[in-house]
Amino acid sequence: MVHFKTVDDAISFIHSRPNTGHKVSLERMYTLLKALGNPNEKLPPAIHVAGTNGKGSVSTMCSYILAAQNKRVGLFVSPFIIDFRERIQINNQFIEPEDLRQVTEDVANVLKQVDEKLYPDISVEFEVLTVIALTYFSRQSLDALVVEVGIGGKYDSTNVLSQAKVAVITSIGFDHMKMLGDTIPKIAQQKAGIIHNGMRVVIGKLPEAAQQVISEVSDQPPISGKINEFDATLPGEFQHMNTATAVAAVRAYDATIDDAIIRRGLDMVTIPARYEIVKQAPITILDGAHNAQGIEQLVLSLRYQFPNQKITLIIGSLADKNVADTFTNILSHTNFRLILVPFVGPNGRHGLDIQETLVQHQQNKRLIFFDSWQTAYQHVGHDEVVALTGSLYFVSEVRKSLK
């Protein structure tokens, strides 16, 4: 029998699982769920949220709004910024350490037999975490559930929700292209994999090619939110669309929800590292933008809010992201400068090739390199605006030091 003395032991066990499986399928998920008594079939109707950007914000907003109805609402999001436990929440409160320890232990004891059955294609880390979350939620007498997709949709570990009621596609852009495809229609097809018969479908602002794919997959016309019907309570221009999408999603989920409840829920929303201002001198913003589309939205918000100020972006990004595609456009704004810093992601994932990027932009003196974000931050003037971005993992690391 597996026994974890502490929640840290349980979390270490989760992290010890492999990152990727041998096959791209949901077979490992369904095998493990069946061994646990199919907790995915003992859940309330769910809002299932996919998208290149914005899915964490939209998921969290949906959770807050539904909780404002005095519902008991489960929320599964990733990755974490402050505490591993924030990935599994009820009414926006992190899972208790003892509850996480116990449910992980329960899953671990079943997993041992499932591993033997599936070997060598054993369950991977995100699959195990998803099963832990669904098992925990199945024991909590929930009224509603909001689940954020990890990557893509069709083959994502979360695509096992037998009671999913609303599918949300927040945005579609270029990210995880090795897994999802290198064109907008291919990526849209993967994300639309969370759409099943009878589900309401809500979309954010999508390219026309993506809208066409989603309309073909859905058996009901997709719904879009109304911009500025409700004020965005989170900073950043992109949050107006996220707010509209979240409102449309909860209305699709529960047509009886009234505007006062929606406002109450939105007024309570807080999300770390989403255009989060953590210091005033210099004005310091943390944002988890991790791909070209996200960086472009961040720059748009900075230009809108600080049109006449000098702005520095300190970027720590993973190598498999496409953030460098935005650098030429950013540097066309003369009040912006870019500082690249080395960053090693979880499980040793390589950071952006800084030397190659510097060579590509060697004529521009506003693209520079420092050996750490701390050194870069020290070179920012008190009258500047500085945004640290490029990866949620990077921003999480920075936040621990600045908060």
Residues 312-323: pLDDT tens digits? 999 988 765 566
In terms of Cα–Cα distance, which of 336, 253, 273 is closest to 302?
Answer: 336
Last residue of a domain, one of 242, 268, 294: 268
The answer on pLDDT for 67 being more than 90 is yes
* Number of CB atoms found within 10 A of residue 229's CB: 13
Select the more confidently predicted residue: 182 or 114: 114
Number of domains composing the chain: 2
For the domain that residue 225 is a member of, what is the CATH number? 3.40.1190.10
CB 398 within 8 A of CB 370: no
Q: Give Cβ neighbours of residue 246 (< 8 Å, ≥ 6 apart).
A: 57, 58, 61, 62, 65, 225, 266
Residue 337 resides in a domain = yes
Residue 1 resides in a domain = no
Per-residue pLDDT tens for 232-257?
888 888 899 999 999 999 999 999 99
- Identify whether residues 287 and 257 lie together within a single domain: no
Residue 373 resides in a domain = yes
- Identify whether residues 168 and 62 lie together within a single domain: yes
* Number of CB atoms found within 10 A of residue 382's CB: 8
Model pLDDT, residue 242: 96
Last residue of a domain, one of 268, 298, 331: 268
Instruction: Read off the pLDDT band of 179 (50, 70, 90).
Output: low
Strands 200-203 and 164-169, bridge-based pairing: parallel
- Identify whether residues 231 and 90 lie together within a single domain: yes
Residue 82 resides in a domain = yes
- Identify whether residues 247 and 388 lie together within a single domain: no
- Identify whether residues 87 and 113 lie together within a single domain: yes
Per-residue pLDDT tens for 245-292?
999 999 999 999 999 999 999 999 999 998 999 999 899 999 998 888
Model pLDDT, residue 392: 87
The answer on pLDDT for 176 being more than 60 is no
Residue 2 resides in a domain = no
Record the pTM: 0.89
Model pLDDT, residue 116: 92
Model pLDDT, residue 37: 98
- Identify whether residues 156 and 201 lie together within a single domain: yes
- Identify whether residues 263 and 292 lie together within a single domain: no
- Identify whether residues 184 and 239 lie together within a single domain: yes
Select the more confidently predicted residue: 250 or 344: 250
- Identify whether residues 15 and 139 lie together within a single domain: yes
The predicted model gives 86-115 an average pLDDT of 97
Whole domain around residue 323: which residue ranges? Answer: 276-402
For the domain that residue 374 is a member of, what is the CATH number? 3.90.190.20
Model pLDDT, residue 354: 66
Mean pLDDT, the chain, rounded, equals 91
The answer on pLDDT for 298 being more than 80 is yes
Model pLDDT, residue 344: 75
Residue 40 resides in a domain = yes
Residue 90 resides in a domain = yes
Last residue of a domain, one of 227, 244, 268: 268
Model pLDDT, residue 301: 92
- Identify whether residues 264 and 280 lie together within a single domain: no
* CA–CA distance, 168 with 195 (Å, rounded to integer): 9
Per-residue pLDDT tens for 211-224?
999 999 999 999 99
- Identify whether residues 95 and 224 lie together within a single domain: yes
- Identify whether residues 122 and 221 lie together within a single domain: yes
